Amino acid sequence: MSYSRAHKCVILAQDFYLMIKDFKRTKLMAKIIAVANQKGGVGKTTTTVNLTASLALVQKRALLIDLDPQGNATMGCYIDKHELELSVLDVLLADADIKDCIQKVEKIGFDVLPANSDLTAAEVELMNIEGRELRLRNALAQVADDYDYIVIDCPPSLNMLTLNALVSANGVLIPMQCEYYALEGLSSLIETIDQVKSSVNPNLKIEGLVRTMYDPRNKLSTDVSAQLIEHFGDKVFNTVVPRNVRLAEAPSHGLPIINYDRSSKGALAYFSLAGEVVRRVRRETKAKRTAAA
Ligand code: ATP
Ligand code: MG
């Protein structure tokens, strides 16, 4: 059967429309990065806040989600965790509209879905809810087109909150302190990522490992760093975040490092990390488009 010219034109127009729709979808959907490591105090929150701030600085529309009852990321984003009317808890448990819970923080240039210690209750209460691991993902679907990047600060444990982050994300960024026990526990995080990937979230991958609080004069740091590169190759970001007192001071002013001391070594490191992340994501998007063509 031969198609008429008009019919062929219609088919071409339909193909073109679908292509544009696909192009828009890849372009508009936010890159969602979970910053996770069940080891405590390795720089998850510092990385989440300062990576998001650096992305915002290069005009990316960014949302930070605090998924840790400690509320440290919230406090580091010029929000008082003790004064929250709505928080991520209301999104997870009370079916609140996520748009009502997000705060626009003019001073830092990006949006925040805050948290405080009330979130501790979520862990237990989520257990009684069907589809508990999908709560955040379903809520994020409503705002994913409003942002270029969504960065999630996870608590220091592989609990239901971290699981919600991994189910929502398409990339995991793992901050690592290059010290003796650094690799311990990493295998259970990777196992969990693999499980989530093979069950509910095939798009999940390790975005990269970032070395934090790095001291190049310390032999142990350089040894562990070499070990990381041997195991994970180019998954290890080139950027190394040095130990820098300005990074530790900034949260006490409720500010990302870029707003506190833009010329510090810490600020430059996170700016460089954001550049690497953007370039990796650009490469991924290009590869996806090529594969879809
Ligand atoms: P938790 O597991 O408790 O959530 P975390 O992994 O989020 O901790 P952070 O809170 O980011 O870790 O960092 C732990 C401490 O180290 C904080 O006091 C922070 O200010 C400090 N810190 C983080 N990164 C650096 C750095 N590069 N230089 C100096 N201090 C840092
Ligand atoms: Mg933290």
CATH of the domain at 252: 3.40.50.300
Token digits of residue 64:
């930070």
Q: Tell me the average pLDDT across 63-73.
A: 98
In a domain, 135, yes or no: yes
Instruction: Give the lowest-confidence range in 10-14, 47-51, 162-166, 268-272.
Output: 10-14
Q: What is the pLDDT of residue 1?
A: 43
**Long-range CB contact pairs, 84-87, < 8 A, 24+:** 84/114, 84/115, 84/116, 84/118, 87/113, 87/114, 87/115, 87/116, 87/118, 87/119
Rounded to the nearest angstrom, the distance between the alpha carbon of 153 and the centre of ligand 1 is 12
Coil, helix or strand for 171?
strand
Q: Tell me the average pLDDT across 2-9.
A: 58
Q: What is the pLDDT of residue 22?
A: 46
Q: What is the pLDDT confidence band of residue 289, given thresholds at 50, 70 and 90?
A: confident
Q: Tell me the average pLDDT across 22-48.
A: 83
Instruction: Give the lowest-confidence range in 44-53, 67-76, 127-136, 146-155.
Output: 127-136
pLDDT surpasses 60 at 24: no
pLDDT surpasses 80 at 107: yes
Rounded to the nearest angstrom, the distance between the alpha carbon of 39 and the centre of ligand 2 is 10
The domain tally of the chain equals 1
Nearest CA owner, ligand 1 atom 19: 248
pLDDT surpasses 60 at 9: no
Q: What is the pLDDT of residue 25?
A: 45
Mean pLDDT of the chain: 91
Q: Tell me the average pLDDT across 116-137.
A: 92
In a domain, 282, yes or no: yes
In a domain, 293, yes or no: no
In a domain, 251, yes or no: yes
In a domain, 235, yes or no: yes
Q: Tell me the average pLDDT across 123-145.
A: 93
Q: What percent of the chain has pLDDT over 90?
A: 80
Element (H, E) at 208: strand 205-214
Spatial distance between the Cα atoms of 212 and 33, rounded to a whole number of angstroms:
17
Are 42 and 94 in contact by the 8 Å Cβ rule? The answer is no
Q: What is the pLDDT of residue 207?
A: 96
Q: What is the pLDDT of residue 180?
A: 82
42 lines ligand 1 (CB under 6 A): yes
pLDDT tens profile 170-212: 999 999 999 888 888 899 999 999 999 999 999 999 999 999 9
In a domain, 208, yes or no: yes
40 lines ligand 1 (CB under 6 A): yes
Counting atoms of ligand 1 from 1, which one is nearest the CA of 175?
6
Q: What is the pLDDT of residue 27?
A: 47
Spatial distance between the Cα atoms of 154 and 36, rounded to a whole number of angstroms:
5
Spatial distance between the Cα atoms of 112 and 115, rounded to a whole number of angstroms:
9
Q: Tell me the average pLDDT across 118-129.
A: 90
Task: Spell out the residues 6+ positions from residue 43 whose beta carbon is closer than 8 angstroms to its own.
Answer: 175, 177, 210, 212, 213, 241
Q: What is the pLDDT of residue 292?
A: 84
